[in-house]
Chain A
Amino acid sequence: MDESQFIIKQISVFSENRPGRLAAIAHALEEEKINILAFSIAEANGFGVVRALVDFPQKAYKKLTGLGFNVAFTDVIAVKMRDEPGGLYEIANMLGEGAINIEYSYAYSGKDGAVLILRVDDAKKAITSILSRGGTLIPSSTFQ
């Protein structure tokens, strides 16, 4: 099986924690007509990291680095999640059983139901682990 079809390129942007920075990032993406499909901000003392799944990651990378932003690609996976009590437990448990560590995650409720985005320590192992336990992964082609 080709696990790589489930590996999604998330863009991560370093941002100082001050007014207008998120607006600057969002505006840049708007200018390029890039759609943000899922999104989160992690914050620390004085700075934050904006993480997003976008429809054209290369274009977004080029635009944002051109503006001087520090941008990196990160491999994440997206798991379809039952939008009812126990949905998160089901997926977290699959990963726990597979001895996979979750570095971070964020969720959103898409048109076809809830989706959990995960950065894990071993993406390929996570993919086999989830699929072998009956989970559903969303292929990257759905987003990008």
Chain B
Amino acid sequence: MHFWDPRIEEMPLEELRKMQYRLLKTLVYRLYSFSPFYHERMREQKVHPDDIRSLGDIGKLPYMYKRDLRDNYPDRIFTASQDDLVRYHVSSGTTGKPTVVGYTQADLNNWTTSLARGLTSCGLGRGDVIQVSYGYGLFTGGLGLHYGAERIGATVLPTSVGNTERQIELMQDLHATAIACTPSYLLHMGEVAEKMGVSIKNDTDLRAGILGAEPWSATMKTRIEEGLGIKAYDIYGTSELSGPMFCECSAQKGFHVWGDLAYVEVLDPETGEPLPSGEKGELVITMLQKEALPMIRYKIGDISSVEDEVCPCGRTHPRVQRISGRVDDMLIIRGINVFPSQIEHALMNIPEVGDHFQIVVDRKGALDEMLVRVEVSPEAFSDKITDLMKIGKLVEHRLRNSLNVAVNVELVEPGSLPRFEGKAKRVIDRRSL
């Protein structure tokens, strides 16, 4: 077992909790005293730093939302002066105004340390060649992984996104042993490689993928591991937390959230009550050491569960399971949680269907029925009914596999499903409960 910092990573749980409490207490005092934003929030919530007497008291503190960053665009929540900032990153702004995040040198160090621990925990280090195929630039993925990989003494191949054929050539020529990118990009790479006559499994030295930045299912993980002959490690983060931060270890039982850097709560999305270890709910994260842009009880909107017991790898820090979706769009179909993101994922991998889809949920008698309407891509259109029925069956089959719930599929004319400029509304729920 490899550790980057065994003293922290194997710290007994009780000691870790004491450390977290100390960090939280300092954070709350600092923000109450120096941040007008947090001061006001805490006054509104009628909570004073003195009210925080245990780690459990974190529940008394107000939440923070992405809209807080938007409302205070670009940097009104920052608690470091511009002189102390060493970097900015900016989100893509797909759901409205972009959000700006800033970093002090200490913030960057913590970010890099977090990734150094994670990359080490999945067996990477000196001698490895890590191809970073996340986007570089305003997006946090590329630079985040870049510095993390350099820190552990690996050789970085900063290919960024795109120019896939060249990426595959370089992967072969420079003997990349690991790749960091989105799972869907890696699948795409596998397809392109195949067209070039290259088998990633047999013709490259690739043995690990550090994959994240989008929700992906366990079935997809298996497909990647078997198809490409590598280990697929989940990595998690958002720009508000710094960027990609938390990575699975060699045990592959969820990503370790380093307790000295972040405190994670899992709450019932309805009641806001904390849920016990292993139960699925909404992740709320407090960054314990951020200087430039502190985050207390940040509601990311992701759903998952956390495991508290010590990992088989020996690390004591809690492990968060694969993100199963977003709070704002979860559907419950016959008792099974279904996320449009899962459907989107399954559909994205079927070239016969277009990019747009619609989900219609009905209740027939006592049972929920889900219909997914997809557009047939012009390339896949055939005048033979049997060919079209095959496409329908294929889509049904793929969706059933990834959702574990039966789905009816309807093929519709291209362009007939609604398009959205802002956040897409793809679900029509006609159930009256």
Residues of A within 8 A of B (CB): 10, 12, 14-16, 42-47, 49, 51, 65, 68-72, 74, 103-104, 119
Contact = CB atoms under 8 A, between A and B. Distances in A.
Given A14-B376, A44-B388, A49-B388, A70 B413 contact: yes
Give the interface centre of A51, A71, A72, A103 by most chain B CB atoms within 10 Å. A72
Contacts of B411: 14, 46-47
Interface in B67-88: none
Contacts of A74: 383
Nearest to A11: B383
Contacts, number: 53
Contact of B412 (A12, A16, A43, A45): A16
B342 to A, nearest CB: 23
A105 to B, nearest CB: 13
28 contacts: A10-B383, A12-B381, A14-B376, A14-B388, A14-B411, A14-B413, A15-B413, A16-B412, A16-B413, A16-B416, A42-B383, A43-B385, A45-B389, A45-B392, A46-B410, A47-B388, A49-B388, A65-B378, A68-B415, A69-B413, A69-B414, A70-B376, A70-B413, A70-B414, A72-B381, A72-B382, A72-B383, A103-B384
A72 B415 CA distance: 16
A51 to B, nearest CB: 6
Given A14-B376, A44-B388, A44-B389, A49 B416 contact: no
A5 B381 CA distance: 26
Contacts of B384: 49, 103-104
Given A14-B376, A47-B411, A70 B389 contact: no
Nearest 9 A/B pairs, CB to CB: A12-B383, A68-B415, A70-B381, A74-B383, A44-B385, A46-B410, A42-B385, A49-B383, A47-B411
B233 to A, nearest CB: 41
Give the interface centre of B385, B414, B416 by most chain A CB atoms within 10 Å. B385
Interface in B381-398: 381-385, 388-389, 392
A102 to B, nearest CB: 12
B410 to A, nearest CB: 5
A49 to B, nearest CB: 5
A46 B396 CA distance: 14
Interface in B344-393: 376, 378, 381-385, 388-389, 392
Nearest to A13: B383
Nearest to B387: A49
A104 B385 CA distance: 10
A8 B303 CA distance: 56
A65 B384 CA distance: 19
Contacts of B412: 16, 47
Nearest to B380: A70
Nearest to A21: B413
Nearest to B409: A46
A68 B388 CA distance: 18
Interface string B137-179: 0000000000000000000000000000000000000000000
A100 B328 CA distance: 56
Nearest to A48: B385
Contacts of A15: 413
B378 A70 contact: yes
Nearest to B392: A45
Contacts of B410: 46-47
A69 B413 CA distance: 6
Give the interface centre of A10, A14, A74, A103 by most chain B CB atoms within 10 Å. A14
Give the interface centre of B383, B411, B412 by most chain A CB atoms within 10 Å. B383
Contacts of B382: 12, 72
Nearest to B413: A16
Contacts of A69: 413-414
A72 B389 CA distance: 17
Nearest to A42: B385
Contacts of B392: 45
A72 B413 CA distance: 13
A123 B378 CA distance: 24
Contacts of B376: 14, 70
Contacts of A104: 384
A74 B376 CA distance: 17
Interface string B49-74: 00000000000000000000000000
A104 B413 CA distance: 23
A43 to B, nearest CB: 8
Contacts of B389: 44-45
Given A14-B376, A65-B378, A71-B381, 4 more contacts: A43-B385, A44-B388, A45-B389, A119-B383
Contacts of A14: 376, 381, 388, 411, 413-414
A70 B382 CA distance: 9
Given A44-B389, A47-B388, A68 B383 contact: no
Interface string B400-426: 000000000011111110000000000
A119 B388 CA distance: 17
B147 to A, nearest CB: 47
